[in-house]
Amino acid sequence: MNISRSGFRRVATACGSGARAGILETLHGPVLTPVFMPVGTQATVKAQLPQTLLDSGAQVLLANTYHLLLRPGPEVLRHVGGIHRFMSWPRAVLTDSGGYQVFSLPGARTVSEEGAAFRSYVDHKTVLLSPESSIATQIAIGADIMMAFDHCVASTVDLATARAAADLTARWALRCLQAREAANARGQPLQKAQGQSPQALFGIVQGAL
């Protein structure tokens, strides 16, 4: 069995391929992989209660940074002690960075080196989602696993556009890592209050849709 710095322990590998089974240790318990993650985009899984999700064997839920940034907002989540308390969920949470949601917005959006600017569907104000603000929001959410902010493009784009998006995603990933390390150096209130170690940060495998 191999244990990585991220807390992932491989327990089995398929013969003739790279397929593997493992255990990912998180701040809210282990996650056996491969795993199905119920989607709780806005800190709730539709038509389900936390107990029914526990009864179903769910180990980790997926929430979305873009939607939680707009409502209820990082300050509310920070005030209540993070998403686990907010939604009464005792197990792990992974937050998507918001990159796909920015791509899928029906209205105008502008992507630059700094980040992605768009109009909020809540109050119609212009919001800039950058690698730094994505990480800051995910830290406030209190996700066990944070995803790096990426530039998502359609599968129909040409090679040059796809390559440029992948390159931008790589630069943003570095900024996400730097933002996470800076936050760890400062010490986050949520982590201090709960005595927790830094949240995990995963990168995006980029290749368009």
**What sign results for the dihedral spanned by CA atoms 59, 94, 24, 21?**
positive
CA-to-CA dists, residue 60 to 24, 36, 40, 191, angstroms? 11, 8, 10, 19
Q: What one-letter code names the amino acid at 35?
A: V
Confidence band of 106 (pLDDT split at 50, 70, 90): low
Confidence band of 188 (pLDDT split at 50, 70, 90): low
Confidence band of 187 (pLDDT split at 50, 70, 90): confident
d(CA 142, CA 110): 28
Confidence band of 193 (pLDDT split at 50, 70, 90): very low
Are the CB atoms for 200 and 6 separated by under 8 Å?
yes
Summarised one tens digit per residue, pLDDT across range 130-169 is 999 999 999 999 999 999 999 999 889 999 999 999 999 9
Q: Provide the whole-model pTM.
A: 0.89
Helix (H, G, I), strand (E, B) or coil at 27: coil
- Quick one: angle between helices 159-186 and 131-141, nearest 10? 50
What value does the mean pLDDT take over residues 69-79? Answer: 96
Question: 3.20.20.105, 3.40.50.12280, 3.40.47.10, 3.40.366.30: which CATH number matches 35-202?
Answer: 3.20.20.105
What value does the mean pLDDT take over residues 180-197? Answer: 64
